[in-house]
Amino acid sequence: MVGSFIVPPETTLTENPPLGFHFMVNFLVGGVVPNLLDIRFQKVSGISAEIETTDIREGGENIFRHRLPNYVTYNNLILERGMVIGSPLNVEFNVAMSTMEFAPSNVLVILLNADSIPVAGWLFQRAYPVKWSISDLDANNNAIVIDTMELAYARFQSLRI
């Protein structure tokens, strides 16, 4: 028992929470092994879900309200990395953006510990590109060009690893 919470037997408490700098991203497309060019990203953001609610006021009583759940909304998944020349993922994004033909795929984000062992994971289902950009090109700046890819998806779930 931790505080007033009961810890399930399969859960272990560690002294240090996992660090967020060692992770990989897998695009799961029809049983094909993920391309090694397309699993390494510098940053992943947008992993969140929110339940939208509706307020219902009680008849005749203006001081009471009930908040009822409606549906779950998700932020877009945002992936950032140094530009990779010859990346199949960049080709897929280009096809989607120029032809409006989408091939939704599942995306698996895995958080790794210092020994590269998975400690957490999130599965994004039926993801497709909605935005793509590169960082500014600036002759006065000696910085790596960053690809930013934004994906919408039907739902996501946390995986028990």
Q: What pLDDT score was predicted for residue 63?
A: 80
| Two tokens, residue 149 | 């890819």
- Nearest-CA neighbor of 127 among 85, 80, 75? 75
Would you place residue 18 in the very low, low, confident or very high pLDDT band (cuts 50, 70, 90)? confident
Count other C-beta atoms under 10 Å from residue 81's C-beta: 21
Query: Can you name the residues that pair with 43 across neighbouring β-strands?
Result: 80
Question: Is there a contact between 25 and 6 (Cβ–Cβ < 8 Å)?
Answer: no
Q: What pLDDT score was predicted for residue 32?
A: 63
Give the contacts of 112 (CB within 8 A, at least 6 positions apart). Answer: 22, 23, 24, 118, 119
Q: Give the mean model confidence (pLDDT) for residues 35-56.
A: 88
In this structure, whether the domain defined by 23-159 belongs to CATH 2.30.110.20 is answered with: yes
Q: What is the pLDDT of residues 95-115, one digit of tens each?
A: 888 999 888 889 999 999 888
CA dist., res. 53 & res. 72, Å (int): 9
